[in-house]
Amino acid sequence: MIEAKHLSKSYGGKPVVEGVSLRVEKGKMTSFIGPNGAGKSTVLSMISRLLAQDSGEVLIEGKEIGQWKSNELARKISILKQSNHINVRLTVRELVSFGRFPYSQGKLTAEDWKHVDEAIRYMDMQDMQGKYLDQLSGGQNQRAFIAMVIAQNTEYILLDEPLNNLDMKHSVQIMKVLRRLVDELGKTVVLVIHDINFASCYSDHIVALKEGKVVREGSVDEMITTEALKQIYEMDIAIQSINGNRICVYFT
Amino acid sequence: MKKRYLLIALVLLSFVSLFLGVKNIHPLDLFRLSEEQLQVMLVSRIPRLVSILVAGAALSISGLIMQQLSRNKFVSPTTAGTDDAARLGILVALMLFTSASLIEKMIVAFVFALAGTFVFMKILDRVKYKDAIFIPLVGLMFGNVIGSLTTFFAYKNNLIQNITAWLQGDFSGILSGRYEMIYISIPLVIVAYLFANKFTIAGMGEEFAINLGLKHKQIVNIGLVIVALVSVVVMLTVGLIPFLGLVVPNLVTIYAGDNLKKSLPLTAMLGALFVLFCDILGRILIYPYEVPIGLTVGVIGSGLFLYLLIRRKAHDA
């Protein structure tokens, strides 16, 4: 379990996150939603040690995040940020193999390569594993990075807007893979996501942030209601039930 | 670009290099060298060959490391103020201790080179506009600011001639007893190879590195120390060889990609080969005189650099 207690962070005197406390349950998919500037990415960065909090604490399985050895933590928790347009000429396979770095420090064993192969298969990228990242589309790049995280084989997988710049087909594909990671491999997935309908269709738990605070959290049934969304987004959003999923109609 | 071909070319050219010079030594004489010929071999030819190979490999690798860590293909010791800061350091050493030994010069120059590179990396962090061409321009400006300081103080202290001597790389002055410092580069190259994977990851950005449990700052610092030390050691023994750290790594990564484990050995070999080739060219062109290596590498290197720039423009369009 990841536990955040009274997290705060400000930039240049301006508070971005104020007193956020939350719990991420094991084996569930948790989505952070909320308007722009709500502090979702900042919270995600703090609970994954990319960013130091000004006050408050983060506990990973009961142990304060700073107490973990960075290498041990890298086998426990992985984080993928939205800014992945890294201008680096690596092949997909090379990138995925870096996911094994916390285990092998670069000297990959047969066991490591097995994980690399599995991750590539999981993301269905066998036919393009020898290609350089800069030869691939944005969606394929995103899939390659997720494959790396899968090879990293951590219990917790944190993703900051993994659907950014993806078309519908690839968005659905990625959400399905993330769901499979939870259902088949028992992983804990946390993501920051803008499309509330994806959050509604795939998550187990939704945390809503607004102006640096958690305004509401709960199951999909509790969160995807006209009343809750009004509080979060200040919009009147009708909810339709389609094939058992709660779909938000917010376009008009 | 196969390792094997690079190796064959290296061996062949090394052979040529050993038997090229004013003092005529025929390859067939190798096993019955006269006393005098043996002296020429040991005192001049072999030290020269060794320093060419080491300098070429080490400088190219430091360029590769800098490009990876700064995530910019056009950053190198020449375009990041490292070389200029090292020269300022040498001047300071000359001013502080009137007859500074090579080691004293090296230490002071190293501190300056490291500080200069550090400041450049800090500037890089602050610059919002991370255009591929803009960054090295900032580096060149930064280097020139340091360079003008050097010139100013050199003028005041009548040291202009001493300082310009370090400006131009030249292997003709390499004699046994005056070049051994360059061996310091060899362990540095080995360390660089051991850290190759970590440099690759660090080059993917701080967040990427932290995710994989890597101490990003520490890796960057190790990289910068290697770069600064190599630059200083080569500058003090051979002199400045411009563009080498820029052109060679770029040529290699076009073919081999940015995985340092793969590109680093190739860069070292191509770097050594390139310098060896330029040196032989410089020795043949106006035989029995020599064109200094700084000039041949500078001319060929800047030509290749232009080619890379234009190629990039075409690539972007």
Q: Over 90: is that where the pLDDT of A32 sits?
A: yes
Among B85-99, B110-124, B160-174, B249-263, the range scoring the smallest mean pLDDT is B160-174
Domain B3-316 has CATH 1.10.3470.10: yes
Given a cut of 60, whether residue A85 has pLDDT beyond it is no
pLDDT at B32 > cutoff 80: no
**In whole angstroms, how far apart are CA B103 and each of A205, B188, B236?**
64, 17, 10
- The chain A residue lying nearest B208, using CA atoms, is A80
Residues of chain A with C-beta less than 8 angstroms from the C-beta of B204 = 86, 88, 98
Domain for residue A95, yes or no?
A: no
Chain A residue numbers with beta carbons less than 8 Å from the beta carbon of B257 are 89-91, 94, 132
Q: Is B214 on the interface with A (CB under 8 A)?
A: yes
Confidence of residue B314 (pLDDT cuts 50, 70, 90): low
Return the residue matching tokens 């960065």.
Answer: A45
Contact B66, B264 (CB under 8 A): no
Provide long-range contacts, Cβ within 8 A and 24+ apart, for B124-131.
B124/B70, B124/B72, B130/B72
pLDDT digits (tens, 9 = 90+) for B198-248: 999 998 888 999 999 999 999 999 999 999 999 999 988 888 888 899 999
Identify all chain A residues contacting B214, using CB atoms and an 8 Å cutoff.
70, 74, 101
Shortest Cα–Cα distance, A124 to chain B (Å): 23
Q: For residue B317, what pLDDT is reported? A: 44
Point out the least confidently predicted range of A170-179, B63-72, B155-164.
B155-164
Confidence of residue B1 (pLDDT cuts 50, 70, 90): low
Is residue B13 within 8 Å of residue B280, measured between CB atoms?
yes
The partner residue sitting opposite A90, judged by closest CB among B71, B198, B258, is B258
Would you call B210 and A49 a contact, using CB atoms and an 8 Å cutoff?
yes
Is there a contact between A74 and B257 if contact means CB atoms under 8 Å apart?
A: no
Please indicate whether, in this complex, the C-beta atoms of A89 and B257 are within 8 angstroms of each other: yes
Looking at the complex, does the CB of residue B208 fall below 8 Å from at least one CB of chain A?
yes
pLDDT tens string A169-208: 889 999 999 999 999 999 999 999 999 999 999 999 999 9
Collect all residues with Cβ–Cβ distance below 8 Å to B7 and sequence separation of at least 6: B269
The ipTM, to two decimals, is 0.88
- Determine how β-strand A238-242 pairs with β-strand A213-219: unpaired
Q: What are phi and psi of A6, to 5 degrees?
A: 50, 50
**pLDDT averaged over every residue in chain A:** 92
- The tokens describing A216, both together, are 């509401």
Q: What residue in B sits closest to A91 (Cα-Cα)?
A: B257
Say whether residue B217 is in contact with chain A using an 8 A CB cutoff: no
Domain coverage including residue A12: 2-84+156-249
Beta-carbon neighbour count of residue B102 at 10 Å? 14
Contact call for B213 and A101, based on CB within 8 A? yes
> How confident is the model over A208-237, as a mean pLDDT?
93
The pLDDT tens digits for B87-134 are 999 889 888 877 778 888 889 999 999 999 999 999 888 887 777 778
User: Is the distance from CB of A64 to CB of A49 less than 8 angstroms?
Assistant: no
Burial of B31 (0-12, 13-18, 19+ CB in 10 A): exposed
Please give the average per-residue pLDDT across B142-156, as a whole number.
92
What are the C-alpha distances in Å from A160 to residues A17, B136, B220? 16, 32, 25
| CB < 8 Å from B in window 140-179 of A | 152
The answer to whether residue A90 is domain-embedded is: no
Q: Where are the alpha helices (DSSP H) in B127-183?
A: 134-156, 160-165
Strands (E), chain A: 2-11, 14-24, 29-33, 55-60, 63-64, 77-80, 156-160, 188-192, 205-210, 213-219, 238-242, 245-249
Number of domains composing chain A: 1
Mean pLDDT of A232-237: 92
More confident residue, A124 or B27: A124
Domain ranges of chain B: 3-316
Taking the CA atoms of chain A, what radius of gyration do you get in angstroms?
A: 18
The Cα–Cα gap between A104 and A3 comes to: 29
Average pLDDT on A48-63 reads 93
Q: Are B235 and B102 in contact (CB under 8 A)?
A: no
Q: Is the pLDDT of residue B169 over 60?
A: yes
Does residue B29 surpass a pLDDT of 80?
no
A90–B257 C-beta distance less than 8 A:
yes
Residue A127 lies in a domain: no
- Count Cβ neighbours within 10 Å for each residue of B194-231 and write b for 16 or more, e otherwise: ebbbbbbbbbbbebbbbbbbbebeebbebbbbbbbbbb
Residue of A nearest to B195 (CA): A106
Q: Where is average pLDDT lowest: B162-176, B181-195, B276-290?
A: B162-176
Share above pLDDT 70 across residues of chain B, in percent, rounded to a whole number: 96
Kindly list the residues from chain A whose CB atom is less than 8 angstroms away from the CB atom of residue B212: 74, 98-99, 101-102, 152
Q: What is the pLDDT of residue B313?
A: 64
Distance CA(B306)–CA(B299), nearest Å, equals 11
Contact B204 A86 (CB under 8 A): yes
Q: What percent of chain A has pLDDT over 70?
A: 98
Residue A218 pLDDT greater than 90, yes or no? yes
B201–A48: do the CB atoms touch at under 8 Å?
no
CATH of the domain at A49: 3.40.50.300
pLDDT of residue B161: 81
* From A11-15, A92-96, A177-181, the region with the lowest mean pLDDT: A11-15
pLDDT of amino acid A100: 95
Contact A88 B204 (CB under 8 A): yes
Q: Tell me the average pLDDT across B66-92.
A: 89
Residue A90 at interface with chain B, using a CB cutoff of 8 Å: yes
A98/B200 CB distance under 8 A: yes
Task: Mean pLDDT check: name the lowest of A32-46, A49-63, B52-66, B130-144.
Answer: B130-144
CA atoms within 13 Å, Cβ hemisphere of A156: 26
- What residues of chain B lie within 8 A of the CB of A83, using their CB? 205, 207
pTM (two decimals) = 0.89
Residue A233 to chain B, least CA–CA distance (Å): 30
Q: Which of B213, B253, B261 lies nearest to residue A74, judging by beta carbons?
A: B213
Minimum-distance CB partner of B213 among A50, A70, A83: A70
In this structure, is residue A170 part of a structural domain? yes
For chain B, the average pLDDT equals 88
Pick from B224, B255, B272, B268: nearest CA to B111: B224
Which of A26-35, A197-206, A221-230, B95-104 comes out lowest in average pLDDT? B95-104
Above 90 in pLDDT, residue B306? Answer: no
Which of B211, B212, B253 has the CB atom closest to A89's CB atom?
Answer: B253
**Could you tell me how many CB contacts below 8 A there are between chain A and chain B?**
66
What is the residue type of A232? I
Q: What is the pLDDT of residue B192?
A: 96
> Among B71, B207, B257, whose Cβ lies nearest the Cβ of A132?
B257
Contact in structure between B136 and B73 (CB atoms under 8 Å) = no
Minimum distance, in Å, between the CA of residue B257 and any CA atom of chain A: 5
- Interface contact B212, partner A, CB < 8 A: yes
Determine which of B64, B130, B210, B211 to mutate to test the interface with A (most A C-beta atoms within 10 Å): B211
Provide mean pLDDT across the span A74-81.
94
Average pLDDT over residues A134-161: 91
Are the beta carbons of B212 and A72 separated by less than 8 Å? no
**Closest approach of A30 to chain B, Cα-based (Å):** 20
**Cβ of A88 and B203 within 8 Å?**
yes
In a domain, A56, yes or no: yes
Does pLDDT of B316 surpass 60? Answer: no
Q: In angstroms, what separates the C-alpha of B71 from chain A's closest C-alpha?
A: 8
CA–CA separation, A37 vs A55, rounded Å?
A: 19
Q: Which residues of A touch B210 (CB under 8 A)?
A: 49-50, 70
